Amino acid sequence: MLSSIPMAEEADTVSSLLNEGKEGKPLVVILVGAPGSGKTTFCNDVIRVARRTWTRICQDTIANGKAGTKAQCLQSAANALQEGKNVLIDRCNLELEQRSEFVKLGGARADVHAVVLDLPARVCISRSVQRTGHEGNLQGGKAAAVVNRMLQKKALPNLNEGFSRITFCHNDDDVKTAVNTYSLLGLFDSLPPGIIGQKSGDAKVQQGIMKFFKKVDTDGNCSQNSAPKHENNENNPRPMGIEKGNEVGKDEQKNDMLLNPSVSDFQWNDAPTLAFPSISTSDFQFNMDKASDVIVEAVADFFSKVDKVKLILVDLSSKSKMLSLVKVKASKKNVDTTRFSTYAGDITRLYTGGGLHCNVIANASNWRLKPGGGGVNAAIFSAGGEALEIATKEQADTICPGSSIIVPVPRTSPLSQREGVTYVIHVLGPNMNPQRPNCLKDDYVKGCKVLYEAYSSLFNNFASIARSQNYQKEYSGDSKSEPTKSVCKSFEAVVECQRSSSEQKSKREVSYGSDCNKKSKSNGDSGGLPGMLEKEEQKSERSDHSAKSSWGSWAHALHQIAMHPEKHNRDVIEISDDFVVLNDLYPKAKKHILVTSRLPGLDCLAEIRREHLPMLQKMHAAGLKWAEQFSRHDPSLVFRLGYHSVPSMRQLHLHVISQDFDSTHLRKKKHWNSFNTPFFRDSIDVQEEIKMNGLATIKDEKLLSSELRCHHCKSAHPNLPRLKSHIATCKAPFPSHLQNGQLVFALSGSSDAVSAI
DNA sequence: GTTCTAGAAC
DNA sequence: GTTCTAGAAC
């Protein structure tokens, strides 16, 4: 397989591999291994005797010794590189997605290596179960189950991911050798790129992809275009790990090359190729067996009508059930495998991750044509960036099941710049998931029909693009000449095809979409696509007439209570001409009340002006009165009075909240941060600002996603449960910025607060 | 396996 | 604003 340098040989030649005299780039070494594989020990052993300066990045301790986030790890690693340090990433990193962000740390500023601690599962489990005091608290009985589960998802790293060197360790001796290699590495040394110590069974082979791309290399000599570019050192005995001296079978070697075919001339010398994901089988829960039948049928039908184009079905995992089902069924149906293939990898990184150049990719979209939702849709929108979102919106707002739309990818999009993708075709398949709109409730007769239509629409749209590209080539003779005319012709063809797609859609709606139409005419159906469309229309109508159309349907409750408090006797605890006081329906602390203004049309802090000051003072006085009353009843309670910079409910309301935050309703980061960052504007400060400036300062909603910090001692915590258990016992005093009358205490605080107004 | 988060939907 | 749940992480 790819490996050419056995571990034992590597041990003998470590010193000779060091290229002395040239300044080495900083290194990012990504450890890959299950819990118990010895990642932390590896790091500590390297750091103990290292000649370079290393920083170990460990998510379990990144936040002041406590568990933190992946983002914190990435930031710390970037900071260390900035300071010229080398970085060891001490996380499991067993899956491609888990390590991909860390690989991106490389490039011009650093080389990225992987060290794979691929020790037997029983060794990892045994160590994990026995250890105590583990930073990540993974020890004892639960460790075995976790390790087993993680190992099932293991995907060993590949040079295609962006590593310049990958070292596989299968036993303790291998680990020792690797430790020596990295600890011996001096400031000006560098290690040769390539793969070290890989067993023949390690590498993933994607059978047939070479044949598919017609890039068979009978000599096994292949350009190294997949690996990042490195300067070859003439003294280096093995410039690249996957070159000569490989005793592994040539067929296997060739198949690895298939993952990185030379693509420089593929786009113009070979047939246009569409890469597409399986539609509807993920979030929409379409039965995979049935879906694979539909794919094969749709592909076969398409090939019978259109030639000179190719299709690749892409799924992230090489263990994908869809890929194997489709492979088997396509073979049975004698689908032309020189034109249809499967590929395991990231559809948004076909070129940079796999060396495949497909300039048209399909997206398993949602009906709103919006990012999010996870899976392929999220990945493609994320990879396409804002430019793809805008380009999509220019084409359509929504899409019906069974149809597809073409979106030319702007040249500013990373998908275009990085991957060479020129078109994304959004496809919407049938939904079998009751939790998603327009569920077909196990009606697979209709489901298969719609899925076939979806693929058929996708392939036809792709054929339109391919025709336009062929026309473009024939027209210009040379793709480099007369680019303007070529692009114009191409664009016209695409627009035409888009039109025909819309026509198809209209026709289809008559048959399949009849339910849709019925529902959209009925009222009161809050679920499902048509109901939502109707709501969107209403919303957009409102926006034409009112600047305050952005309030969600849930956001009017307070307004209703303020306008008609007599109808809400159970919620309201005090009524005056200027305000009503009520218990928060979802209190975020032991005591949490709202003093709500009754002034119609005053909805939020941003709308407060000088003329509202008397009312603000009355609201504050009422809140203070209630806080004092609660504190007298329970002297442990301390209160803050204030406004959210941007409220979720309309009708101006003052929060009066005890600082214990002891409530089951406090469940989200944004709950905490809305009361414990500057997003919460203390009532006394707001009044002062209005007095002085006539306006209140509004703080950014980004504060709601800030890291979680204790409101007493300011320590950071990785998640809300941990924070809540900390604040239950934190004895630190309140910080000084709250000592100017913002807090209301049982005994002395109230007079301070009053005097501060 | 469980815990936690974040996005979709209302 | 909440609920639901898929996905990430260990």
Higher pLDDT, A756 or A45: A45
Q: Does residue A671 reach within 7 angstroms of strand B, measured from its CB?
A: no
Higher pLDDT, A226 or A130: A130
What pLDDT was estimated at residue A129? 74
Q: Count other Cβ atoms within 10 Å, centred on residue A199.
A: 15
A653 catalytic? Reply is: yes
Collapse the DSSP code of A93 into the 3-class scheme (helix H, G, I; strand E, B; otherwise coil) and give the result: coil
Are the CB atoms for A128 and A147 separated by under 8 Å?
Answer: yes
* Residues in chain A, total: 757
User: What residue type is A57 in one-letter code?
Assistant: I
Evaluate if pTM is beyond 0.75: no
Residue nearest to nucleotide C5 (CA to C1'): A435
What would the pLDDT profile of A289-336 be if each residue is shown by its tens digit? Answer: 999 999 999 999 899 888 888 999 999 887 888 999 999 999 998 898
For A150 and C7, how far is CA from C1' in angstroms? 15
**Nucleotide with C1' nearest the A535 CA:** B10
CA distance A87 to A81: 7
Structure tokens at A390: 């805008």
Phi-psi category of residue A140: left, alpha or beta, with phi > 0 → left and psi -120 to 50 → alpha: left
**Nucleotide with C1' nearest the A142 CA:** B1
Structure tokens at A218: 């009978």
**Nucleotide with C1' nearest the A145 CA:** B1
Q: Does residue A664 reach within 7 angstroms of strand B, measured from its CB?
A: no
What pLDDT was estimated at residue A5? 58
Which of A620, A644, A653, A655 does the annotation list as catalytic? A653
Mean pLDDT of chain A: 75
For A666 and C3, how far is CA from C1' in angstroms? 14
Give percent of chain A above pLDDT 90: 33
For A225 and B1, how far is CA from C1' in angstroms? 41
Residue nearest to nucleotide C7 (CA to C1'): A374
Q: Does residue A437 reach within 7 angstroms of strand B, measured from its CB?
A: yes
On the question of pLDDT at A636 being above 90, the answer is yes
Task: Please tell me which of A76-90, A498-512, A633-647 the model is most confident about, judged by mean pLDDT.
Answer: A633-647
Overall average pLDDT of the A152-156 stretch:
76
**Low-confidence winner among A75-79, A497-501, A669-673, A686-690 (lowest mean pLDDT):** A497-501
For A439 and B9, how far is CA from C1' in angstroms? 14
Overall average pLDDT of the A650-677 stretch:
95
**Low-confidence winner among A189-203, A556-570, A717-731 (lowest mean pLDDT):** A189-203
What pLDDT was estimated at residue A228? 31
Q: Does residue A91 reach within 7 angstroms of strand C, measured from its CB?
A: yes
Are the CB atoms for A409 and A388 separated by under 8 Å?
Answer: yes
In A 266-295, which Cβ lie closer than 7 Å to strand C? 282-283
Q: What is the DSSP string of A327-386?
A: HHHHHHTT--TTTEEEEES-GGGHHHHH----SEEEEE--TT--S-SSHHHHHHHHHHHH
Residue nearest to nucleotide B3 (CA to C1'): A721
CA distance A368 to A657: 39
Q: Does residue A653 reach within 7 angstroms of strand C, measured from its CB?
A: no
- Integer angstrom CA distances of residue A658 from A584, A681, A754: 12, 15, 17
What pLDDT was estimated at residue A723? 93
What pLDDT was estimated at residue A298? 93
CA distance A237 to A490: 50
On the question of pLDDT at A110 being above 70, the answer is yes
**Low-confidence winner among A96-110, A400-414, A495-509, A636-650 (lowest mean pLDDT):** A495-509
Collapse the DSSP code of A651 into the 3-class scheme (helix H, G, I; strand E, B; otherwise coil) and give the result: coil
Beta strand pairing status for A165-169 and A111-117? parallel
On the question of pLDDT at A749 being above 50, the answer is no
Q: Does residue A378 reach within 7 angstroms of strand C, measured from its CB?
A: no
Which residues, other chains included, contact A145 with Cβ-Cβ below 8 Å and sequence gap of 6+?
none
What would the pLDDT profile of A343-366 be if each residue is shown by its tens digit? Answer: 888 899 887 777 777 889 999 998
Q: Does residue A374 reach within 7 angstroms of strand C, measured from its CB?
A: yes
CA distance A371 to A389: 8
CB-based burial label for A757 (10 Å; 0-12, 13-18, 19+): middle
Are the CB atoms for A302 and A276 separated by under 8 Å?
Answer: no
For A552 and B4, how far is CA from C1' in angstroms? 27
Higher pLDDT, A466 or A522: A466
For A554 and B6, how far is CA from C1' in angstroms? 20
Q: Does residue A674 reach within 7 angstroms of strand C, measured from its CB?
A: yes
CA distance A433 to A441: 8
For A435 and B9, how far is CA from C1' in angstroms? 9
CA distance A413 to A417: 6
Q: Does residue A412 reach within 7 angstroms of strand C, measured from its CB?
A: no
Are the CB atoms for A155 and A92 separated by under 8 Å?
Answer: no
What would the pLDDT profile of A160-219 be if each residue is shown by its tens digit? Answer: 788 888 899 888 888 999 999 998 888 878 888 888 887 765 554 454 554 565 433 333
Q: Does residue A435 reach within 7 angstroms of strand C, measured from its CB?
A: yes
